[in-house]
Structure 1
Amino acid sequence: MTKSILVYAFAALAEIGGCFSFWMWLREGKPLWWLAPGMVSLALFAWLLTLVDADNAGRAYAAYGGIYIGASLAWLWAVEGVKPDRWDTLGAVVCLVGAGIILLGPRALR
């Protein structure tokens, strides 16, 4: 379980960093070379998700969604300097609870 949370955390940083580089290139007019670290970061993100201990890819991705939302709000605050408001925080908590249910819910034996 702890391994999955760590993998999800690093995957979120890799995905957000990769997408942010594309955002900066397209929306903020940064040079084309900004895409290179973004592509590497997105490939790292995809590889990291394969390390999650889950029986199904879709379930691993669904549980990751909650972690991604929380990490995105942390990025918003730390990198972009915008403090999340109470609605951002409440939404992230709801998503993290949902991710926990998906990740930790009892599964029928097959």
Structure 2
Amino acid sequence: MFDLKTLALFLVTAVAEIVGCYLPYLWLKHGKSAWLLLPAALSLALFAWLLTLHPTASGRVYAAYGGVYVFTALGWLWLVDGIRPTSWDLIGGLVALAGMAIIMFAPRQA
């Protein structure tokens, strides 16, 4: 069964990780303030904490999370970097999401 709460948690987790990595990138590659490292560290700590809230075994969560991360990163590419994903990017993102759904929502024995 599809669980919107789990998907939303994955999306928030992905955004926290992307922000935590994007801010140091701005500092290192674009000469922005080193003060960006503070919110970056907080965002990565939030990311790690959010991973603990996922409702299944850690290895499975990490594997499935990768699919949501790929799709979220493509949204970031478009919304933040201003680069529109290609149709190939979108197809790859949908394949990654399909993999996430198979991993997370497949029936399991108790």
TM-score normalised to the size of structure 1?
0.93
DSSP 3-state at the match of 1:108: coil
Once the two structures are TM-superposed, the CA of residue 27 in structure 1 deviates from its matched residue by 1.4
Alignment match, 1:107: 108
Specify the code of the residue in structure 1 equivalent to 2:29: R
Gaps of at least 5 residues in structure 2 are: none
Distance in 2 separating the partners of 1:4 and 1:51: 9
DSSP 3-state at the match of 1:97: helix
Once the two structures are TM-superposed, the CA of residue 89 in structure 1 deviates from its matched residue by 0.5
Runs of 4+ in 1 over 6 A off after TM superposition: none
How many pairs were matched up?
Answer: 108
Distance in 1 separating the partners of 2:27 and 2:88: 29
Once the two structures are TM-superposed, the CA of residue 18 in structure 1 deviates from its matched residue by 0.8
Alignment match, 1:43: 45
1:64 paired with 2:65, answer yes
TM-score normalised to the size of structure 2?
0.93
Gaps of at least 5 residues in structure 1 are: none
- Residue pairs, 1:9-24, within 5 angstroms: 9-24=11-26
Alignment match, 2:5: 3
Distance in 2 separating the partners of 1:31 and 1:53: 37
Once the two structures are TM-superposed, the CA of residue 2 in structure 1 deviates from its matched residue by 2.0
